[in-house]
Amino acid sequence: MTSILGLSGSLRKASFNAGLLRAAADLAPEGSAITIGSIREVPLYDADREAEEGLPPAVEVLQAQLAQADGLLLVTPEYNNGVPGVFKNAIDWMSRGPGLKLFVGKPVAVLGASPGGFGTILAQSHWLPVLRTLKTRPWLEGRLLVSRARDLFDEAGNLTDEKTRDKLRDFVRGFAASL
């Protein structure tokens, strides 16, 4: 069984990106599974806190999930033309202590949804230097930019657009097949 850890970079309950991740998990091909991790309880990074208390429990959970995963799926919003701070913060925490070695060579796919007309093109590109620094193996075979998300998701943040679901199914299938 191919295991993928999926993380949404939004904390909002009805987030388009959390909904996109849930849909990806539902559409995962046979023989693969997407575990949805949570960044909600990850505190702001503080080296003093790390020195005094070690890694927060939420970070330890994410590290354990990453260690078990064959690949990592980052579902990113785009805030002010870049990576959301809360999402980058979670990845920064995850790379601490024994975490950095968990990223080395790990296949990573990035996708995202936005209410704007360009999807999350700038945020996805913004992730590339971070993924390079972590020595991951970015999956560049597919790209999914979900724009005008308000028209594609319901009020609870569930992906309802069949054309987008088909594109997502193909994206997840391609990533899973590369693992």
8-65 pLDDT, tens per residue? 999 998 999 999 999 999 999 999 999 999 999 999 999 999 999 999 999 999 999 9
Mean pLDDT of the chain: 97
The pLDDT-based confidence of 116 (bands split at 50, 70, 90) is very high
Average pLDDT in the 133-140 region? 98
User: Could you give the percent of the chain with pLDDT greater than 70?
Assistant: 100
The pLDDT tens digits for 59-96 are 999 999 999 999 999 999 999 999 999 999 999 999 99
Closest CA to 36 of 6, 11, 77: 6
The reported pLDDT for the residue numbered 108 is: 98
User: What single string gives the DSSP state of each residue in 79-123?
Assistant: BTTB--HHHHHHHHHHTTGGGHHHHTT-EEEEEEE-SSTTTTHHH
The reported pLDDT for the residue numbered 14 is: 94
* CB-based contact 37:65 (threshold 8 Å): yes
Q: Which fold has domain 2-178?
A: Rossmann fold (3.40.50)
The pLDDT-based confidence of 172 (bands split at 50, 70, 90) is very high
- Cβ-proximal residues to 169 (8 Å cutoff; 6+ apart), any chain: 27
- pTM for this model (two decimals): 0.97
